[in-house]
Amino acid sequence: MRILIVDDEKNIRESLKKYLALEHIDSESAASAEEALALLEEKTFDAAVLDLMLPGMSGQELLCQIQDKGFSVPVIMISAHGQIADAVNALKAGARDYLSKPVDPAELSIKLRSLIENHRRENLIEAETRRRASGKMGPEKPALIGNSPAIKSLSAQIGKLAATDVRVLITGESGAGKEVAAREIHRRGPHREEPFAAVNIGGIHESLMESELFGHEKGAFTGAASRRPGLFELAGRGSIFLDEIGEMPMPLQVKLLRVLQDRKIRRLGGITDIPVNARIISATNKDVEALVREGKFREDLYYRLNVFRIRLPPLRERRGDILPLAEFLLDKLCSRMGRPRHVLGAAALDKLAAYDFPGNIRELENILERALIFCETGTIEPYDIDIRSSLRGGGGGGGVVVGAGGINAADSPSGKPALLEEIEKNAILAALARCEGNRTRAAEELGITRKTILNKLKGYGYF
C-alpha cells in the first residue's frame, strides 16, 4: 500500500509520513501540485491525500488534473479552514472523503484503508461488468454441491489447502465446475474478504490479454484513453483465477512466469514495477503434460502453477449428486425466469441419472432451463426433458424463416439445404421458448394450430 501526501507544510508531510509508517503504510510526499503530478506519472499510488490550499495550482485543481490524466487513484482532501463549502466542492469535484486540519492521523489511517479496499472492489466490479457485457464471462456457476464420495474428497482437499497461499492447478472436463472449486478455495482462505478476480484466457483476444491481466497506462495503445489497472492489481491480496490456462499464448506465458518469480507486474506502456500479492489458481480441461511435451506450454511455468493439483470429477462419476444439483439449479432458474418453484418428478430424475452428461453441470443447467419452458405444471416430467437437443447444442436453428404463412425451409449456416423436419422442430421449440411454453401463443406466432404443435411435440418424444 503506497500513499501520496501533497501539502505545502513540511511538518505536516513528515508527521503524516511517520505515523503511516508505524501503520505499515508506505507513503511519499510532494509540496506542490506540479511535484505531485510528476510523481503520479512515475509511480503507482493506492490513494492520495491532498491539501486544498496549495501554492499555485490548488488541491481541487490538482484533483481535476488527476482525473483528466486518467490516474486511477482515490483522493482524500484536507483543509485548515474546515468550511462546509470547501468539503462540498471537493466532494462534487470527485474527492472520496474530506478531513479538517489538524488531521487526526489515526482517523486518516482508518479512512485510507477503507477507501483503498472499496476502490479496489469497485474496480473489480467494473472489470467483471465489462467482461459480462462483452460476453467474456459465462453464466453464474452453481455452488459446490453434492454428497458423493468424490465431492467429499474434493471438499477435504480444499479445506487443507485453502488456509495456505499455495498455487493450485484445477483440471477437469468442460462444465465440471472448475471455477466453482476455485471460488470455494478463495471463500475458505484467509483473504476471503479480498476480491476474487476470474478471467477466461480462451475468451480474450491475444492482443488484449496482457492489458486485461496487467493493466495499461494512458496512451499505451489506440483506444487506451485512461490508465486502467489489470486483474492482478484488482485482486489485491485475494485470488486471481486463470481459466483455460492451456490457451495462453507463449509470449504471455513468459510474462506470467516472470510475475510468479518476482511477484511484480508492469502495466502495458508503464515503466514502474508494481508488487502483487494475489493467490494464483489456474484451471484447464486439456492435458497440460501433453502440451509441455509438444512444446506448447512452458515446463517451468507448468511446475510453478502445479504446486497442488485438484481434479474435478465429471458428473457421470458422481451421479448421486444429480438430484441436489438439479434442485439447486431449478431454484436459481425459476427465480431468474420469474417462474414458480418447480420440482423433478421421479421418472424425470431417473432419465437424468441414466444420462452421461458430456457437458457436465453446464449441460444439466441447459437441460433444466429448456424443461422449465415446456413444463405446464409444477413437476418436471420425462417428456419435458430434451436430452437429444442438448447433444445437438441446444436445438437452435439459424436457417428458419417464420411468418404468418407458417414455416418455410431455408439454407443452413453451412450453405447446404437443411432437413425440413429439423428446421420445423427448431422453429417450434424457439417459438415455445419465446412464448414461455404457452402453446396457444406459439401456434398463433407460427401460423399453425395448437393441435399441430401438440402432435409435433408427441412426435419429438415429449409425450
- Is the entire prediction scored with pTM above 0.85? no
Name which residue leads in pLDDT, 103 or 287: 287
**pLDDT exceeds cutoff 80 at 275:** yes
Is residue 368 located within the same domain as residue 304? no
Q: Do 343 and 297 share a structural domain? A: no
Asked if residue 124 lies in contact with residue 137, where contact means CB atoms within 8 angstroms, the answer is no
Strands 274-275 and 264-265: antiparallel
Does one domain contain both 271 and 183?
yes
**Assigned domain for 55 exists:** yes
Is residue 405 a part of any domain in this protein?
yes
CB atoms within 10 A of CB 403: 10
Domain at 28, CATH number: 3.40.50.2300
Hey, what's the cell of 81? 479552514
pLDDT at 420: 58
Domain for residue 365, yes or no? yes
Question: Is 194 in contact with 212 (CB distance < 8 Å)?
Answer: no
Q: What is the pLDDT of residue 306?
A: 94
Q: Are residues 58 and 196 in the same domain?
A: no
Contacts of 405 (CB under 8 A, 6+ apart): 447
Range of weakest confidence among 84-93, 106-115, 213-222, 232-241 = 84-93
Instruction: Say yes or no: 68 and 158 in one domain.
Output: no
- Would you state the pLDDT for residue 84? 65
Which H helix or E strand runs over 51?
A: strand 47-51
Of the listed ranges 14-28, 232-246, 286-300, 393-407, the least confidently predicted one is 393-407
Band the pLDDT of 58: cuts 50, 70, 90: confident
pLDDT for residue 140: 45
Least confident range of 126-130, 171-175, 202-206, 453-457: 126-130
Q: Mean pLDDT over all residues of the chain?
A: 81
Q: Which of 266, 291, 313 is the last residue of a domain?
A: 313
- Name the grid cell of 59: 488541491
Alpha-carbon distance 4 to 45, whole Å? 6
Tell me the pLDDT band of 405, cut-offs 50, 70 and 90: very low
pLDDT value for 406: 36
261 vs 111, higher pLDDT: 261
Percent of the chain exceeding pLDDT 90 equals 29
CATH of the domain at 414: 1.10.8.60
Q: In this predicted structure, what is the pLDDT of residue 171? A: 95
Segment among 114-128, 345-359, 440-454 with least mean pLDDT: 114-128
Does residue 410 surpass a pLDDT of 60? no
pLDDT at position 143:
62
The total of structural domains in the chain comes to 3
The reply to whether 123 falls in a domain is no
Cell of 353: 441419472
Same domain, 230 and 188: yes
- In 54-151, beta strands by DSSP E: 75-79, 97-100
Q: Are residues 363 and 294 in the same domain?
A: no
> Would you say residue 391 has pLDDT above 60?
no
> Is 124 inside a domain boundary?
no
Task: Report d(CA 120, CA 69) in Å as an integer.
Answer: 19
On the question of pLDDT at 325 being above 90, the answer is: yes
CA distance 296 to 312: 23
pLDDT higher than 60, residue 94: yes
pLDDT bucket at 82, cuts 50 / 70 / 90: low
Q: Do both 434 and 285 map to the same domain?
A: no
Domain that holds residue 86: 2-115
pLDDT at 417: 38
Confidence of residue 463 (pLDDT cuts 50, 70, 90): low
What's residue 445's pLDDT? 77
Residue 393, pLDDT score: 39
Averaged pLDDT for residues 46-68: 87
Residue 72 and residue 158 share a domain: no
Give domain status of residue 210, yes or no: yes
**Residue 122: inside a domain:** no
Q: Single out the residue in 72, 100, 115 at which a domain terminates.
A: 115
Residue 5 has what pLDDT?
Answer: 92
Q: Is the pLDDT of residue 101 over 60?
A: yes
**Rounded distance, CA 97 to CA 170, Å?**
42
Give how far Cα 60 sits from Cα of 32, 39, 48, 63, 308, Å.
12, 17, 12, 5, 50
Question: Is residue 414 one of the residues assigned to a domain?
Answer: yes
Residues 176 and 277 in one domain: yes
Grid cell listed for 3: 500513499
Between residues 49 and 94, the one the model is more confident about: 49
Could you report the per-residue pLDDT of 245-256, keeping only the tens digit for each? Answer: 999 999 999 999
The winner for highest mean pLDDT among 49-58, 403-412, 434-443 is 49-58
Q: Which residue has the higher pLDDT, 178 or 110?
A: 178
Q: Which of 293, 313, 333 is the last residue of a domain?
A: 313
CATH number at residue 222: 3.40.50.300
* Position 416 pLDDT exceeds 50: no
Residue 264 shares a structural domain with residue 155? yes
CA nearest 178: which of 368, 310, 324?
Answer: 310
